[in-house]
Structure 1
Amino acid sequence: MSLDALPAHSGDADDLARLLARALFSGHWQPGQAFPRELDIARHFAISRNQVRNALARLTAAGLLERTAGRGSVVRTLDEWHLLDPIVSDWMSGLTRLDPALIREVYAFRLSSEPLVAALAARAATPSDIARLAQALDGMKQSARQARERHAEFDVQFHDAIYSASHNLVWRQMGHLLRPSIMALVQGSQQRLETLTDSLDRHERLFEAIKAGEPDAASQAARQVLQRTAQDLGLCE
C-alpha cells in the first residue's frame, strides 16, 4: 500500500512509530505484505533515515514488523503482535477504525474473558464499585438521549468498572490495557444503530446481576451484551 494515504508527519521517531502503527491497526498494510523501505519513508515524510530506522525498531519490538538485513520489513501475523504491550495500547488509543481481522480477535478475547470477569465482579464488588458502575450506566442512558457522541465513552467506563470490580490485580491491569481496543469496538458497534435501547437493557441487566451479587446471572448477562456487540459489528447474523 502507498504512503500517500497517511497524514503528514514532522515529529520524532516516537510520533512516526505511532502513525505507522495506527496505519497497521487500520489494515493499511496486511500481514505478510512488504512494508515500505526506510528510504521511501524518509523521502515521503522528508525526515532522516535515522528517525525512520528508530521508528521501525519500535514497531519491530512491538511484534508488528519483521526486519531482515538486505530484505527490508514484512508485516507480521496478528498472533505475533504484542497487543497487551502498554506502548501498543497507547498507539491504539483514540483509533476508531480497526482492521476487521483485528476486530474479530479483540472480540473473541472479550467473549472468552468478560463473562468470567463479570462473575468475579458479582462476588467482589464493593459499594463504591457499584456506585461507579451506576454512574457509568447513567451516563450511557443520558448520552443515548442527549449526547450520542459521548455514549461510547460511558460504555467503556462501564466495562472498565467491571474489570476494576473484580478486585483481581491481573484483570484490573488487563482492563486498563484493553481500554483503547474496547473503545474502538464500542464505537464501531454503535455507528449503524438508530437506537441503543436493546444495548442499554442488556447493560442494565448486567449491572443488576453484579449489584445483586449473582455470579452466574452476571456471566450470562455479560455474554448477552457481547452477543449484541457481535450483531452490531456484523460478526454474526
Structure 2
Amino acid sequence: MQQDDGIKGLRIHQALARQIGIAILSGEHQPGEGFGGEIEQSEAHGISRTAYREAIRILTAKGLLESRPKAGTHVTPRARWNMLDPDILAWMFSSGKPDERFIRDLFELRGLIEPAAAALAAARRSEEQVEQMTGALEIMRRRGLATPEGRDADQLFHATILQAAGNEPLASLASSVGAAVTWTTQFKQDQKRKPRDPIAEHLAVLEGIATGDALRARMAMEDLLRLALIDMGLPASTV
C-alpha cells in the first residue's frame, strides 16, 4: 500500500481506511460503486484479510460504505456520509482543495452553533474555563496559527467555549467543531496570500465571555467567523 505523510504512525487498517476514504470523498469512487471481494481487495492492497475487514468496518461506521449479504460492499449516497466525523473532515481537506460549497457549509454550521454557545458561555463559564481560554489564546499569540501548536490552541479555545456553554448535547459537538476549526485554519494558512492575524477577534470573544456579556460574546463570535470566511477568499453572506 502506497504511503504518504498523512498515514505515518497509523496502523495498517487505519491507513487503508484513510486511503479509501479520501478516494471516496474526492470522487474517485462514486456512490453505488461496488468493491471487489475481500480476498481480491486484500491482495490488491498487499494486506491481510483481517486488516482489510477492519478498514471496511471503519468506513461503514462513518457512513461511507455499506455491506450487505450477497450484494457486497458499495459506496453509500453522499447524504449518508457523517460529515461531522473528525476523520472525514480531515480526509476532505487531505484530498486537495475542498469545494467552495463544503467550506461554506462548515462556516454556516459554525455560525449556527458557536455564537449561541459563546452567549451561553458568558452566563455559565467557570473561572477555570476562562483561564483555559486565556492560556490557549496566549499560545496562539506566541506560536501563531501557522504552527501545529497554534492550531491546537485555537481548537482548544473553541472547544472550551462549547464546554463552557453548560449544555451536554452541545458539548458533544466539541470534537467535530474543533476539527472544522483546525482544518479550515490550516487551509487558510496554506493559501498563497499572507493570512490576517485573527487574535483580536478571539480576544473580543474571550472578553465577552469573561465579563459575562452574552450579547458582546455572541456578536464577537459572529464577527470572528465572518472575517475568517473572508480570509479564505469567500464572501461572508452565509455567516
Shift of 1:157: 1.4
SS at match of 1:220: helix
Relative to structure 1, is the Cα distance of residues 186 and 217 closer, same or farther in structure 2, using a 3 angstrom cutoff? same
What does 1:25-174 align with in structure 2 at a 5 Å threshold? Answer: 25=25, 27=26, 29=28, 32=31, 34=33, 36-38=35-37, 41-49=41-49, 51-67=51-67, 73-84=73-84, 88-89=85-86, 97=94, 99-100=98-99, 102-144=102-144, 148-174=147-173
Query: Whole-Å Cα distance in 2 between the matches of residues 11 and 166 of structure 1?
Result: 36
Query: Whole-Å Cα distance in 2 between the matches of residues 167 and 185 of structure 1?
Result: 26
TM-score if structure 2 supplies the norm length?
A: 0.77
**Does structure 1 conserve the Cα–Cα contact (< 8 Å) formed by 2:32 and 2:77?**
no
Task: Tell me whether 1:215 sits opposite 2:214 in the alignment.
Answer: yes
What does 1:8-23 align with in structure 2 at a 5 Å threshold? Answer: 11-23=11-23
**Does structure 1 conserve the Cα–Cα contact (< 8 Å) formed by 2:121 and 2:164?**
yes
Relative to structure 1, is the Cα distance of residues 97 and 46 closer, same or farther in structure 2, using a 3 angstrom cutoff? closer
Task: Tell me whether 1:203 sits opposite 2:202 in the alignment.
Answer: yes
Query: Whole-Å Cα distance in 2 between the matches of residues 77 and 106 of structure 1?
Result: 19
**Does structure 2 conserve the Cα–Cα contact (< 8 Å) formed by 1:95 and 1:180?**
no
**Does structure 2 conserve the Cα–Cα contact (< 8 Å) formed by 1:97 and 1:188?**
no
**Does structure 2 conserve the Cα–Cα contact (< 8 Å) formed by 1:123 and 1:213?**
yes
Shift of 1:92: 5.3
CA root-mean-square deviation? 3.4
SS at match of 2:235: coil
Shift of 1:47: 2.4
Relative to structure 1, is the Cα distance of residues 104 and 69 closer, same or farther in structure 2, using a 3 angstrom cutoff? farther
Deviations 1:92-133 (A, max 9, x none): 569853633543433322111111111111111121111111
Amino acid at match of 2:128: S
What does 1:226-237 align with in structure 2 at a 5 Å threshold? Answer: 226-236=225-235
Shift of 1:68: 5.4
Amino acid at match of 2:58: R
* Structure 1: 5+ residue stretches without partners: none
Shift of 1:64: 0.8
Amino acid at match of 1:59: L
Query: Whole-Å Cα distance in 2 between the matches of residues 103 and 109 of structure 1?
Result: 10
TM-score if structure 1 supplies the norm length?
A: 0.77
Query: Whole-Å Cα distance in 2 between the matches of residues 220 and 167 of structure 1?
Result: 19
Deviations 1:157-187 (A, max 9, x none): 1111111211222222211343233311221
Query: Whole-Å Cα distance in 1 between the matches of residues 200 and 180 of structure 2?
Result: 23
Relative to structure 1, is the Cα distance of residues 124 and 104 closer, same or farther in structure 2, using a 3 angstrom cutoff? same
Shift of 1:78: 3.6
What percent identity do the matched residue pairs reach?
23
Query: Whole-Å Cα distance in 2 between the matches of residues 235 and 178 of structure 1?
Result: 20
